[in-house]
Structure 1
């Protein structure tokens, strides 16, 4: 009998070692890791610069709480606001906490309670972020949710125009719905969201927990679309495996989170900030992101070319290295066979295979992944035909 609550459907393999794009399980089998801790290890496993920064901080101080100034918070905050449209940062421990802070900030600033989100969205599992999530399976069994969340069809400007008014505190969305099937927003829709929010005095919140920190080839995914959200939430890739999240906001929101209005014991602790500082120094480098985009173009073009003969593949979509392959083959069997071939991937809904390689992946590793994907898809579809 396990001493743990059975909240996870865990795989029957345990990772014992990781380096770069490769991980090795306790039986000695090595895999290409195209899960990256669910878009967390954007620099791969144990990147030397991040490991060095954490080791150096371990020799200084681990935790002091936010009763004291933490100069690393100022340094990481400066990196984040310099590379975004925002002006201030609040550090926490996870994406759910970042989104929780954003919801609190929007309600407090506007004095309103209604928040619009979208169907198939995912924003977290606290009561507020679960209530913001537009998926019934996340909410089932927990009784009444936090009130005044409205879920609209994604990419539907008309539905938003008919719902938003002067009673709406915020519109909250993901630029690419990761957990909801790897669906990207279109530019016109996002620009309409921004316009309608401004007209109604509502805040525009972009959840970049999965898409931020270089995952789509820019520091933040919203930067592909000529928009400027009022609030941005991040986590996952920010610490490359060290738990850390942040909420970023424009300057006019700064005084809303005054002393005592919000807080966290562990948020922004020196170890987390040391990790984040090292991560951002590498990922926010223009040359680094240029190379990422070259690899993205290479991978998506070759993926489409090599898989175009598989009739059971309906669509390949996404943004940057957040890629979804919609397929009619059995997803569970597909993921199992990919693991057996040495490639780790994950689902995004019942019919979408999600690929999240580290941004540091090499072209040789991308070729290896494509070879494994093509081989498994071909074997599965040939078996079905026979």
Structure 2
């Protein structure tokens, strides 16, 4: 059977639900050929954002199809509708046939990821996120200095002066650079390492920091990169990326400042840098790059969507269970009775994932993990029955829903 033959057409009557948020993802996504579709997401309702109405040429279901995670959206037909169905394995073929469609999906995903990132920041800091401002880099510098990481702070002080040369904190930034100049070699890569397409970064150095300008996306050739963000005055680990992964795409697609920081992690890192013009050419010449990027963006959107839903639970015990179940889903662990699982992190890292201070979370985390379902070892948490863990999460969510309904009534 040819690749083209696997692209299908399917008709739906008006008023039909095609996708339900939270349901197991299908390994297909849809392009609207005729009619219109209403798309709703529960987290968008908290900011009173209206659902999207899709018209011919628009698409949906890509996130769950490409990430193979539960759906993050509900799709409902507003009219009789005809859809083109595309299997996730056929995505490369589709891109070969329509590079503009690939770019449309990539740009849409980039904007959606930035929206969810902004919402996560707003919920975590309990205030509306301001537009990215170069002067906010000074806050990052101060954070790392106060945390004892002088080299990272020097990079940020230097970047502040570069981008805000007449900023009100320029004197203090210059003082810090002069006073701790002996750390400068650790803070910056030699110019020879950052020219051309190939880049090398030493362990624990900035590739870029949150709020600075971005002109390149990066493909990791060797090593690991951690993506972090300051939320409510605390550093939150968003992801650890490895060889083959892509990051930094949001800035070149939208001409916006960096929404998070990237730091060489656990050793030196070799990267391939791709600017905006080269990226467009690569999508045409190497459609597998677009497929890889869309798959990664799908995974990131799903992950940040889970983080937002986690914050909205409110109840700390439910949030702890949800954080652990999210990791199981992310690792595609089959949840079944009496199945054991070892989480490769300790209590400190779990608290960091919750975006809370040790003082805030120590007591509830200790209480949850003291249950016989868990066993805590150095840098590890062992769960004796992941099905029971999943049941407890669902029970807590149901309890919270009942309580909320009671308050509304």
Instruction: Give 1 or 2: higher strand fraction.
Output: 2
TM-score normalised to structure 2 length: 0.28
Higher relative contact order (CA 8 A, sep 6+): 1
TM-score normalised to structure 1 length: 0.29
Instruction: Give 1 or 2: higher helix fraction.
Output: 2
Q: Please say which structure displays the higher CA radius of gyration.
A: 2
